[in-house]
Structure 1
Amino acid sequence: MLLENSPQNTTMPLTLPRLFGWAAQQFGAKVAIREAGRDISYTALNDLRRCAGRAFMAMGVGHGDRVAIWAPNSAEWIVAAAGAQSVGAILVPLNTRLQGSEAADILARAGVTLLLTVTELEKGEPLAMLADQALPNLQQRILLPSTAAGSVARAISWADFLASASPLDDAKFIAAERAVNPFDSADMLFTSGTTGKAKGVLCSHEQNIRVFQSWSATVGLRSDDNYLIVNPFFHSFGYKAGWLAAIISGATILPVAKFDKRSVLETIERDKVTMLPGAPSLYEMLLNAPERGDYDLSSLRLGVTGAASVPVQLVRDMRDILGFETVVTAYGLTESTGVVSICRPEDEPETIASTSGRAIEGVELICANPNTGEEVPRGSEGEVWLRGYNVMQGYFDMPEATAEAITADGWLKTGDIGVMDERGYLRITDRLKDMYIMNGENVYPAEVEKVLYGLPGVAQVAVIGVAKAPQGEVGMAFVVKKTASDLSAQAVSEYCGQQLARYKCPFYVEFVEALPLNASGKVLKTELKALAVGLLGGKKQNS
């Protein structure tokens, strides 16, 4: 299949094993992955992928089996994922910040038979955290290379795992990878589970490749790009818009295992990083880093961001201060194979700053009345619905949840509130679940956050609704100040009063050192709500 906006203007294979073989032929000795002083060429990456695939076969992994990776970004993560997918297994990435019980719940519900992990994660030693968990399907544990100290009991080393591939007849592996179908499920990414149990989202090989071939061409990812991937591989942004897009385009992948501002700045200068996507919080932290001026960031060319709230000033600062030639905003969710809409680099600056672009090619997008399913008039708020080849195959083993999310005629209901203009450009205003009601008026925190980002001295901000009589709910703003700022709560309140209707102005303002973020860089508003409960216990709640 030839996509109109293919990065290489050539027919793209539509399964992961064929894609890696194609990339080896196209890019050969070019560096595919650079990590800790080690360079892996596209040819070598394909060889490693095939070796891992044979090793998975030797371990008894076959078509449709689930293989999980619970580890930070690394070259081995990519090799393991591609190796498993090459024999028809379904990849199940796990959030590196999970507790043992949370990881075990996903492993059990997904029926994972083989787990690849490391010696140490944020919450402790993964193998120890899982030791007392009931996981009857889990047959093998493989320990990826790691610099952290830890027990290797109950696991096979990565080296021994790869060595197990050698006795296997190569013809069996070739037959297995050729049997992988474009419509086979390639992965099962679990949603955050903020409104209940996390759900396993199934997407196919073809969906992944088609969506991110289109994404790569639209944002302008090139084979001469050095792509610093800060976004975690367990998330679509780091996996699909990350290393998968890089392989489609022939770029060089620079994996980041753990975010550190100084280390990222050093890498940009040393490796001449050109491509640096991320959540808005990534760029905000770099902009607010006191040491930023000590580093040469002139190589930065392309930035891609997106969230419910992308401040106009942030986009300007990315261009004017960080030096990006191109800044593009986009919108997507796990259930849409990661992408719904995207701006084009040729769009005027105001469009890029204030919208999430228009639908990717081949996808229908509307703002709908959630009760009737009818499209609301352009310029009016509605729930974002989409239909097309990027809509997930479904939630694993959850037919009722799948039926609730996807209508009988194929529309995926996102739960996001948005406004579409006459050109089809989408502006996300908030999540349905984040909206709160103040004296009968709907308040969308994202709107308030965008206003507050325009206040000098504000580095980061998040707004939530909290219960208060008699209004019902009021706003509470959590603000991170810029370095050396003397911003006061009164100044924040006065600024909001000048910019917003009274009912939208935060009733409470709290200054914090940092906002709680998940590994994808999104603000954890559930943690802010818990913090608010403790803080408001000591506050006088005036009428």
Structure 2
Amino acid sequence: MELKDLTIGQVLCDRLKTMAEEKAVEYEDVFYTWRELDDFSNKFAIELLDYGIEHNSHVAIWSKNNINWIITYLALAKIGAISILINPSYKEDELVKILEYSETEYVCYGECHTERNSKNIISSLKEKSIGRVKEYVSIEKGRFDQWGKSNETNKLTDANIERLKQIKHKVSPHHNASMVFTSGTTSMPKGVMLTHYQLMNVAGEAAQQMRWTKEDRMCIALPLFHCFGLSVGFFASLSKGFCIHLLPEVRTSYVLKCIDKYKITVLNGVPTMFLALLGNPERKNYDLSSLKSGIIAGSTVFREDYLKIQKELGFEKLQQSYGQTEASPSITFNNYDDSIDVKCASVGKVIPNVELKIISKEYENELQPYEVGEIVIKGYNVMQGYYKRPKENSKKISEDGWLHTDDIGYIDNEGNLYITGRKQEIIIRSGENISPREIEDVIMKYPSILQTKVFGVPAPIVQEEIAACVISSDEKFQIEALEEHLKKYLANYKVPKFIFTYKKFPLNSNGKINMQQLKEEIRLRINKEESL
């Protein structure tokens, strides 16, 4: 695909030229056309300017998937603000850390997946001084209803049209559009800086690889704050003009109903989501025959699981893909017409305009086919860098532009990539990257904890569950009390399913914790508990 020098706003304008009145988004059974997305986001862009938001302002979007999320994102992109995309599952402490780190100035908040109402959390934050935050802007349900769906109602004054036109001219394709977060080995997620150019070209490439057309209908259950849902979901639809059917969250009952009701042709997801669909006893009550294609990515899928998903859901074209947020996110795709034998095992070939090679971990020399080493890439999709993380940036991206993925694999003689592991001990649960260090930091704040180690253990459906091993000085230490402590400071998906107490951890001869032995002991303990 030829790379296009366009901003997100310019791509939307191009969409208006040929299909302004066609359906763009369905949410809660209400359809919005491309013209309505443009009109609504123009009007909100003017409101954001009135708040003081301008070119390069850092503006958080903290909300679950909904139409207001999309309108807000488009409005921010048009005026050149940098959208800070925050997980709606975050609780107050996590939210504060992200807002301070990202130097957020304005927070656009809506309904979130938290035990406390998002309004209550925002009310609490308003009473404090949080980093550089100046204003909290509601994008809750009904926020834009007063505009109606009439073009006359949404019409801007000539003065505001000129105002918007002037600020749009300041936005270039190579301007940072978003800060998207990824969890690494550090306790704090890192903000990945991605440009309009990167996001839109990767989205266009994904749509081309998958041969999607304006006739397709995509169900998006993946969260838009993640690069997977945003880029190869919403932006792919923006690139090709097909309608997306947006769900507030990943629930198999919602997905099944959506596929049946709207005759969905495209469904992307992490392996966990597809496996959960297979396990839903109500699946037989829905007609899924419209499904044609989809991307399965986000974490490793086992060969047997891929074959089961492809067969039972009837996908004609279920393509594996490999990527990471630091790569905007796509790196490889299965070829459209690859055999099932290739698709079930390989994540495909590197996309055009991007280079990929396998290097030895010790000497960083390029390896030959079938030799296992670290995967590194170079190209237009490589992030601008982690926000305010110069040391990590120098380690992650070499001086000559190669991104170290920290993943291990090999390529075959045809150029197909196979993932065999990862250098860092990131836990991947239901497609979410979870930092063990972040959880360990919270555990160590609990009274009497002397030492802790957190890691992932293999599990059906979700792929990995979180296990925590702790050493406490309190003879009356209670696991349940620690769990309650963790729930106060961590999103529910980060709270360990398994917590085990130790008097001392097994050590290597060099005095470090013997992780191989510790993991094996935990595996045996879990198996023993589950067999009782």
| TM-score interval, smaller chain | 0.7 to 0.9
Structure 1, 286-295 or 164-173: larger mean CA deviation: 164-173
Contact 2:63 2:111 in 1 (8 A): no
Matched to 1:138, the amino acid is: V
Q: 1:24 to 1:165 in 2, by over 3 A?
A: closer
Q: Is the 8 A contact 1:70 1:94 kept in 2?
A: yes
Higher deviation after alignment, 25-34 or 301-310? 301-310
Distance 1:337 1:536, change over 3 A: closer
Q: What amino acid is aligned across from residue 72 of structure 1 in structure 2?
A: K
2:248 is matched with which residue: 257, 266, 269? Answer: 257
Corresponding residue for residue 94 of structure 1 = 86
Normalising by structure 2, we get a TM-score of 0.78
SS of 2:193's partner is: strand
Give, in angstroms, the shift of residue 480 of structure 1: 6.1
Aligned to 2:258: 267
Report the secondary structure of 2:69's partner residue. Answer: helix
**Residue deviations 1:275-330, cap 9 Å, x none?**
10000011101111111111111111112112442122333233321111111000
Once the two structures are TM-superposed, the CA of residue 37 in structure 1 deviates from its matched residue by 2.0
- Which amino acid is the alignment partner of residue 231 of structure 1? L
Residue 401 of structure 1: how far off its partner (Å): 1.3
1:276 maps to a residue whose letter is: L
Q: Does 1:362 align with 2:343?
A: no
Instruction: Give CA deviations for 1:470-509 in whole Å, capped at 9, x if unaligned.
Output: xxx999643469xxxxxxxxxxxxxxxxxxxxxxxxxxxx
In structure 2, the residue matched to 1:172 is 163
Alignment equivalent of 1:478, drawn from 459, 465, 480: 459
Which letter maps to 1:478?
Answer: A
Which residue pairs with 1:104 in the alignment? 96
* Alignment of structure 1 residues 481-496 onto 2, 5 Å: none
**Residues 39 and 389 of structure 1, relative CA distance in 2, 3 Å threshold:** same
Query: Which region of structure 1 is more displaced relative to structure 2, 316-325 or 287-296?
Result: 316-325
Distance in 1 (CA, whole Å) between partners of 2:252 and 2:92 is 28
Letter in 2 for 1:143: S
Per the alignment, residue 15 of structure 1 pairs with 7
- Unpaired segments ≥5 residues, structure 2: 430-435, 437-453, 463-491, 503-520
Corresponding letter in the other structure for 2:106: L
1:527 maps to 496
Classify 1:388/1:538 alpha carbon distance in 2 versus 1 (closer, same or farther; 3 Å): closer
For each residue in 1:75-113, what CA deviation from the matched residue of structure 2 results, as whole angstroms up to 9, or x when unmatched? 111110010110010111101111211111111121111
For 1:84, the equivalent position in structure 2 comes to 76
Q: Distance in 2 between matches of 1:475 and 1:257?
A: 27
Aligned twin of 1:323: 314
Shift of residue 366 of structure 1?
1.1
**Letter matched to residue 124 of structure 1:** R
Cα 1:377–1:119 shift into 2, 3 Å: closer
Q: Deviations over 1:4-61 (max 9, x none)?
A: 4x8xxxxx56101111111111222110011112111111111112112222112111
Q: Could you say if the C-alpha distance between residues 533 and 276 of structure 1 is closer, same or farther in structure 2, counting changes exceeding 3 Å?
A: farther
**Partners in 1 of 2:163 and 2:65 — Cα distance?**
30
Q: Partner of 1:179: helix, strand, or coil?
A: coil
Secondary structure, aligned partner of 1:269: helix
1:433-472 equivalence runs, <5 A: 433-434=424-425
1:305 aligned partner = 296
Instruction: Return the letter of the residue paired with 1:296.
Output: D
On the 8 A contact 1:58/1:164 being kept in 2, the answer is no
In structure 1, runs of 5+ residues without a counterpart are 7-11, 148-156, 436-444, 450-463, 465-472, 482-522
Give the partner amino acid of 1:306.
Answer: A
Q: Which AA in structure 1 matches 2:53?
A: V
CA contact (8 A) 1:207 1:390 kept: yes
CA distance in 1, matches of 2:501, 2:44: 49
Q: Distance in 1 between matches of 2:13 and 2:455?
A: 56
RMSD of equivalent CA atoms: 3.2
What is the total number of aligned residue pairs between the two structures? Answer: 451
- Aligned to 2:496, the other structure's residue is in SS state helix
CA distance in 2, matches of 1:118, 1:524: 20
1:192 matched to which residue of 2?
A: 183
CA distance in 1: counterparts of 2:69 and 2:192, whole angstroms? 20
Percent identity of equivalent pairs: 25
1:39 corresponds to 2:31:
yes
- Residue by residue over 1:417-458, the C-alpha shift from the partner in whole angstroms, topping out at 9 and shown as x without a partner, is 1111122211111121249xxxxxxxxx99xx9xxxxxxxxx
- Paired AA for residue 417 in structure 1: I
After the TM superposition, which segments of 4 or more aligned residues of structure 1 sit over 4 Å from their partners?
A: 157-168, 473-477, 523-526, 532-542
Q: Distance in 2 between matches of 1:475 and 1:123?
A: 25
* TM-score (structure 1 length as normaliser): 0.77
Check 1:300–1:140 CA distance in 2 against 1; reply closer, same or farther (3 A cut): same
- CA separation of 1:224/1:531 partners in 2, compared to 1, >3 Å: closer, same or farther? farther
